[in-house]
């Protein structure tokens, strides 16, 4: 039987003298977390009573204790992560005076950002950040244009950011662009590099030249939780205005609603309320929480309207679009509802492409699935090009 | 008409091919080859005029037929034709979508039967694989027929030869081709190329001079254009019949960049590919490839093709 090489932390444990200078040298030599094959060693250095690794990997205890290396102020925990995994985490440090602090890993400069703050990131062995998610000087940049759509349905002025592809031709009568409407638009632009991704994927011919409308929620947990007003805003106010003002395809196959988490619920709900309008849905880590029996869904009051909607959909599945791209991270609790919804969507007669990733409920996960989703929904002209 | 097919031109072999035909170099304007070389770079679309390298490879003896610019001119000056063309594009897109939907199921069946038949089919299965493949072949043929019918109906209704803007551009193209020593067709967007070649009636205007073509330009010479990309961002796709080119070459499926775009090592998949399009030969066009098809259309021996295992 092949024996695994000794972990760096275990080699350090055997070192004598094991003093502060040895720990200094150890930390100077390694990136943290230390990734050795499937095993990742998380570290914290400092005086504390207890230290915990806090993560949201579904299936593991969310507080994993770090052990103190005897005679030092170095704490460690080893976690096995499958190939290609990406995990966001923080550390919780308990002090002797009773204080508890939750912090990003001070030894790890890699951070992920989201509307609720930042967290540290561990990239397991085999994980690669897709090159199409970073700025490519060869890719001609599209432009972002802000507009405001007054909404009677939502009783507010709704800001919308339009993405126009690099060679956008407003007056060319032969050109009709597909339209992608993106929920949580500001977050997709800021945390999922949506503009860079669109620029790159269009440049590489993976995705068709398209117009994207990034919409911003008001009261998100109300508007995105199966709200008739939100669906009306999208379909009866935003869509007609965009199709009147821009050279858009104006057909179901040229319209896609996209969102993640509650934004995916909002996409499904709008298509459900207006079947036949949207040909495609791109749903990332949808909050499709439901109950098979009883009322205990574990999501709290904000999920009540979502659960009612998803339960109703599951009881009487309806074909709300032609095609659905559905993705979810295997480390998020929503993996079970998402896996459960795929056969329901298929049974309703929709063509579903379902993708899982070893990732969590995070903007980088949603960013990294965009090529799979967008190239399937609005494929670029690559198959026509033979240079 | 002599036709020279070349592989992709990232490292150009055009110059050597042109020299061998007496189109440039010391044998310039060999017997019967006087006049400029007509070029088509419409597959490059907006980059159509960026042909300085091409001109230099032909030692300055080139006249670009500017078919993409002419197509834009028609779009601009003939709104009725433009509207009709947009309607046709919608019909063709719908036909293609339906075809791909059916093709997916038909090819899934082929692969499923093929897997089940390995290593040898059960005695009771008969020629299940052949029958499944026949269904795909019939689907391909029916699709090509429908696409050609839709185009024919469009041309019958819009009568391009009676439309002044198109007639004017056709006359200009025909005048250049009448005096051309050869026609060179570059790669690019094969759909755009096929469209403009048909619209400006290039096949009818050819004067018997040789044609040199590569990549999409070569595909556009065939009677059946097959799109393929096994390594696309969304995973292996099904090769799909797109439509007819100029039909100067028949019973051949040309496959530029085959190594980069096809899963050539996937023997069962390539077997299905070859059997699906037989008796047409499936010919890879890799960098450095040169195939001379003589005027009688007989393919020279020894051409590498994709074969059924």
Domain ranges of chain A: 8-123, 131-382
Chain A residues whose CB is inside 8 A of the B9 CB are 387
For B219, which of A253, A371, A386 is closest by C-beta distance? A386
Query: How buried is B26 (Cβ within 10 angstroms: 0-12 exposed, 13-18 middle, 19+ buried)?
Result: exposed
Q: B267-277 and B79-117 helices cross at what angle (nearest 10)?
A: 130
* DSSP reduced 3-state for B219: helix
At B59 the pLDDT is 85
Q: What is the pLDDT of residues A300-321, one digit of tens each?
A: 888 999 999 999 999 999 999 9
Q: Give the nearest partner residue to B234 out of A167, A253, A376, using CB atoms.
A: A376
Do the Cβ atoms of B232 and A204 come within 8 Å?
Answer: no
Residue in A178, A349, A386 to test binding to B, most B beta-carbons within 10 Å: A386
Rounded to whole angstroms, the Cα distance separating A45 from A22 reads 13
User: How close, in Å, is residue B62 to chain A by CA atoms?
Assistant: 20
pLDDT tens for chain B, 309 residues: list them. 899 999 999 899 999 999 999 887 655 445 545 689 999 999 999 999 999 999 999 987 899 999 999 999 999 999 999 999 989 998 999 999 899 999 999 999 999 999 998 777 777 777 899 999 999 999 999 999 999 999 999 999 999 989 999 999 999 999 999 999 999 999 999 999 999 999 999 999 998 999 999 999 999 999 999 999 998 887 888 999 999 999 999 999 999 999 999 999 999 999 999 999 999 999 999 999 999 999 888 888 899 999 998
φ/ψ (deg, to 5) at B122: -65, 145
Query: Which residues in A lie closer than 8 A to residue B232 (C-beta atoms)?
Result: 206, 375, 379, 382-383
Partners of B219 on chain A (C-beta within 8 Å) are 386
From the list B184, B198, B226, the residue with the least C-alpha distance to B39 is: B184
Average confidence (pLDDT) over A174-186 = 94
Residue A31 CA: distances (Å) to CA of A41, A95, B239: 10, 26, 46
CA–CA separation, A215 and A281 (whole Å): 15
- Can you tell me which residue has the tokens 């395809």? A249
CATH number at A8-123: 2.60.40.10
Domains of chain B: 3-78+166-293 (3.40.50.880)
Q: What percent of chain A has pLDDT over 70?
A: 99
CB pairs under 8 A between A and B: 61
Query: Do A131-382 and A8-123 fall under one CATH topology?
Result: no
The span from the CA of A14 to the CA of A9, in Å, is 9
Q: Which residues contact A147 (CB under 8 A, 6 or more apart)?
A: A159, A160, A161, A162
* Chain A residue closest in CA terms to B46: A167
| B122 CA: distance to closest CA in chain A (Å) | 33
- Asked if the Cβ–Cβ distance from A206 to B233 is below 8 Å, we say yes
Percent share of chain A, pLDDT over 90: 91
Question: Cβ(A277)–Cβ(A236) under 8 Å?
Answer: no
Residue B9: which of B150, B235, B216, B180 has the closest Cα? B216
Distance from CA of A181 to the nearest CA of B (A): 21
- Closest residue on chain B to A351 (Cα): B101
- pLDDT band for position A294 (50/70/90)? confident
* Token couple for B160: 């391009």
Strands A179-182 and A255-260, by their bridges, are parallel
CA distance A133 to A201: 9
List % helix, strand, coil for chain A (3-state, nearest 5): 30, 30, 40
Predicted structure pTM score: 0.87
- Give Cα separations from B171 to A117, B48, B64, B192, B215 (angstroms): 66, 20, 15, 20, 27
How far A197 CA lies from chain B's nearest CA (Å)? Answer: 13
pLDDT exceeds cutoff 50 at A41: yes
| Angstrom distance (rounded) from CA B165 to CA B188 | 25
Task: Reply yes or no on whether the pLDDT at A173 is more than 80.
Answer: no
**Nearest-CA neighbor of B239 among B225, B250, B251?**
B225
CA distance B218 to B197: 12
Mark yes or no for CB contact A383/B86 under 8 Å. no
CA nearest to A264, candidates A119, A365, A132, A348: A365
Please report the beta strands in chain B, taking only residues with DSSP state E, as ranges in sequence order.
Answer: 3-6, 37-40, 62-64, 182-185, 188-189, 211-214, 225-227, 240-243, 252-256, 281-285, 290-293
d(CA A99, CA A92): 10
* Pick from A377, A297, A364, A353: nearest CA to A329: A364
Are A119 and A104 within 8 A, CB to CB?
yes
What residues does B293 pair with on adjacent strands? B3
Q: Which candidate, B67, B78, B54, places its Cα nearest to that of B201?
A: B67
Q: Does domain A131-382 have CATH number 3.40.50.1820?
A: yes
For residue A167, give the DSSP letter.
T
Q: In chain A, what residues touch B82 (CB-CB under 8 Å)?
A: 173-174
Sign of the four-CA dihedral B296, B298, B300, B305:
positive
Cβ-nearest to A383 among B82, B188, B237:
B237
CB–CB contact B233 A253 (8 Å)? no
Put residue A31 in one of left, alpha, beta given phi > 0 → left and psi -120 to 50 → alpha: beta
Rounded (5°) CA angle A138-A142-A148: 165
CB–CB contact A384 B187 (8 Å): no
Distance, CA of B207 to CA of B178 (rounded, Å): 6
Are residues B219 and A376, on separate chains, in Cβ contact within 8 Å? no
Residue-level pLDDT at B32? 46
CB contact (8 A) between residue A387 and residue B216: yes
When scoring A204, A380, A385 by the number of chain B Cβ atoms within 10 A, the one with the most, hence best to mutate, is A385
Mean pLDDT of chain A: 95
């Amino acid at each position: 039987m092949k024996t695994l090489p000794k972990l760096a932390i275990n080699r350090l444990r055997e070192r004598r003298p094991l003093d502060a200078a040895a720990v200094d040298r150890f930390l100077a030599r390694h990136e943290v977390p230390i990734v050795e094959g499937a095993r990742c060693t998380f570290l914290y250095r400092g005086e504390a009573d207890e230290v915990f690794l806090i993560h949201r990997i579904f299936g593991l205890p969310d507080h994993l204790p770090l052990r103190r290396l005897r005679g030092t102020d170095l704490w460690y925990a080893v976690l096995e992560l499958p190939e290609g995994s990406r995990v966001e985490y923080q550390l919780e440090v308990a002090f002797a005076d009773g204080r508890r602090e939750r912090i990003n890993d001070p030894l790890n400069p890699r951070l992920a950002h989201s509307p609720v703050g930042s967290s540290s990131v561990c990239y397991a062995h085999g994980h690669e950040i897709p090159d199409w998610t970073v700025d490519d000087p060869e890719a001609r940049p599209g432009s972002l244009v802000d507009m405001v759509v007054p909404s009677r349905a939502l009783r507010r002025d709704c800001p919308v950011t339009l993405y126009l592809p690099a060679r956008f031709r407003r007056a060319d009568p032969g050109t009709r662009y597909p339209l992608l409407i993106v929920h949580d638009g500001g977050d997709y632009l800021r945390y999922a590099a949506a503009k860079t991704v669109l620029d790159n994927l269009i440049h590489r011919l993976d995705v068709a030249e398209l117009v994207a409308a990034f919409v911003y929620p008001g009261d998100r947990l109300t508007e995105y939780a199966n709200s008739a007003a939100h669906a009306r805003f999208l379909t009866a106010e935003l869509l007609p205005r965009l199709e009147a003002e821009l050279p858009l395809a104006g057909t179901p196959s040229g319209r896609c609603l996209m969102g993640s988490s509650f934004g995916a619920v909002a996409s499904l709900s709008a298509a459900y309320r207006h079947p036949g309008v949207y040909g495609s849905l791109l749903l990332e880590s949808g909050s499709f929480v439901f109950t098979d029996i009883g009322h205990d869904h574990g999501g709290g009051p904000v999920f009540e309207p979502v659960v009612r909607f998803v339960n109703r959909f599951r009881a009487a599945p309806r074909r709300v679009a032609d095609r659905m791209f559905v993705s979810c991270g295997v480390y998020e609790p929503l993996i079970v509802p998402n896996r459960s919804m795929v056969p329901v969507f298929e049974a309703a007669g929709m063509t579903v492409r379902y993708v899982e990733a070893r990732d969590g409920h995070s903007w980088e996960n949603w960013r990294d699935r965009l090529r799979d989703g967008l190239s399937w929904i609005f494929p670029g002209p690559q198959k026509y090009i033979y240079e | 008409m002599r036709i020279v097919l070349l592989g992709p031109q990232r490292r150009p072999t055009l110059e050597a091919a042109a020299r061998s035909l007496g189109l440039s170099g010391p044998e310039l304007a060999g017997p019967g080859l006087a006049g400029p070389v007509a070029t088509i770079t419409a597959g490059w679309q907006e980059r159509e005029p960026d042909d300085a390298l091409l001109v230099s490879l032909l030692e300055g003896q080139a006249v670009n037929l500017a078919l993409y610019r002419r197509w834009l001119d028609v779009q601009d000056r003939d709104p009725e034709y433009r509207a009709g063309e947009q309607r046709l594009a919608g019909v063709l897109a719908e036909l293609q979508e339906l075809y791909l939907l059916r093709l997916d199921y038909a090819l899934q069946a082929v692969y499923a039967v093929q897997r089940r038949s390995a290593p040898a089919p059960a005695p009771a299965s008969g020629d299940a694989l052949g029958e499944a493949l026949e269904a795909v072949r019939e689907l391909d043929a029916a699709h090509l027929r429908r696409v050609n019918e839709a185009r024919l109906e469009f041309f019958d209704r819009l009568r391009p030869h009676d439309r002044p803007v198109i007639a004017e551009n056709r006359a200009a193209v025909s005048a250049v081709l009448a005096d051309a020593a050869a026609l060179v067709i570059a790669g690019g967007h094969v759909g755009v190329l096929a469209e403009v070649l048909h619209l400006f009636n290039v096949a009818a205007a050819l004067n018997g001079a040789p044609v040199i073509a590569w990549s999409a330009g070569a595909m556009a010479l065939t009677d059946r254009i097959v799109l393929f990309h096994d390594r696309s961002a969304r995973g292996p796709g099904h090769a799909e019949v797109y439509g007819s080119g100029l039909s100067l070459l028949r019973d051949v499926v040309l496959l530029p960049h085959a190594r980069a775009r096809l899963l050539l090592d996937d023997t069962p998949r390539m077997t299905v590919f070859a059997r699906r399009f037989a008796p047409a030969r499936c010919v890879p066009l890799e960098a450095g490839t040169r195939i001379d098809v003589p005027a009688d259309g007989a393919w020279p021996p020894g051409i590498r093709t994709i074969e059924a295992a």
